[in-house]
A and B are shown apart, each in its own frame.
Chain A
Amino acid sequence: DAGVIQSPRHEVTEMGQEVTLRCKPISGHNSLFWYRQTMMRGLELLIYFNNNVPIDDSGMPEDRFSAKMPNASFSTLKIQPSEPRDSAVYFCASSSGVLGQGYEQYFGPGTRLTVT
């Protein structure tokens, strides 16, 4: 298996622009997670999907952030408009079970976002 696939690996954009991050989970996994990693705040769970349905989006920082999972093999995280404080590494992870119930999360390589 190729593992969790994320694209792009690096994104540099100007403040105010729309940014879309993409994720392909591991085939057969029914849970998908978006995380943000920064030096100041560490790893933060942004949103969690189970069977393509958003279960918990309480970690989404504000309305500028949105996430979708139109099918079991694809998810997007969109930031519109982007701001410099959104600069971070964004990870997508997938799992074969429910969050927190002991099913391993497999992380993708991450997307490094820089907003200037």
Chain B
Amino acid sequence: GENVEQHPSTLSVQEGDSAVIKCTYSDSASNYFPWYKQELGKGPQLIIDIRSNVGEKKDQRIAVTLNKTAKHFSLHITETQPEDSAVYFCAANYGQNFVFGPGTRLSVLP
């Protein structure tokens, strides 16, 4: 079945620095790759997504890049702020299923 790996599992950065989270997937047929942010006590919330026909997508301080050949995609957060602290999940579609990575706990230190 589909496997989505995510690294690192925890990440601490100073406020204002950039954060990068990387994911790899196993199914070459996957074509939709969302990123979710989960704050404590809440459900995951979509922050950005990318489809296989695009190599990069940006939304203000957040960007996602996709390398289909290598089967990996990354989340980039620039100028991090304390409110960016949360758990981030990548995901990939797999047939009629949807597989999430194990998550990255990001801490932005003031």
Contacts and interface: CB of A to CB of B under 8 A. Distances in A.
Interface of A: 4, 33, 42-45, 48, 55-56, 58-59, 91, 93, 99-102, 104-110
Given A55-B96, A56-B97, A102 B45 contact: no
Contacts of A93: 43
A25 B41 CA distance: 19
A37 to B, nearest CB: 9
B95 interface: yes
A107 B43 contact: yes
Interface stretch (B16-24, B57-65, B70-78, B98-106): B98-106
Which one of B89, B95, B96, B100 has the highest number of Cβ atoms from chain A below 10 Å of its Cβ? B96
A104 B43 contact: no
Given A59-B97, A105-B46, 20 more contacts: A4-B43, A42-B100, A42-B102, A43-B44, A43-B103, A44-B100, A45-B97, A48-B96, A93-B43, A99-B93, A99-B98, A100-B93, A100-B94, A100-B97, A100-B98, A101-B32, A105-B34, A105-B98, A109-B41, A109-B43
Contacts of B94: 100
Contact of B46 (A42, A44, A99, A104): A104
A100 B93 CA distance: 5
24 contacts: A42-B89, A42-B102, A43-B103, A44-B100, A45-B97, A45-B99, A55-B96, A91-B44, A93-B43, A99-B93, A99-B96, A99-B98, A100-B93, A100-B95, A100-B96, A100-B97, A101-B93, A104-B49, A106-B46, A107-B43, A107-B45, A108-B43, A109-B42, A110-B43
Determine the interface band of chain B, counting residues with CB < 8 A from chain A: 20 to 34
Given A58-B97, A104-B34, A91 B46 contact: no
Main SS at interface, chain B: strand
Nearest to B91: A43
Contacts, number: 59
Contacts of B95: 100
Contacts of A45: 97-99
A100 B46 contact: no
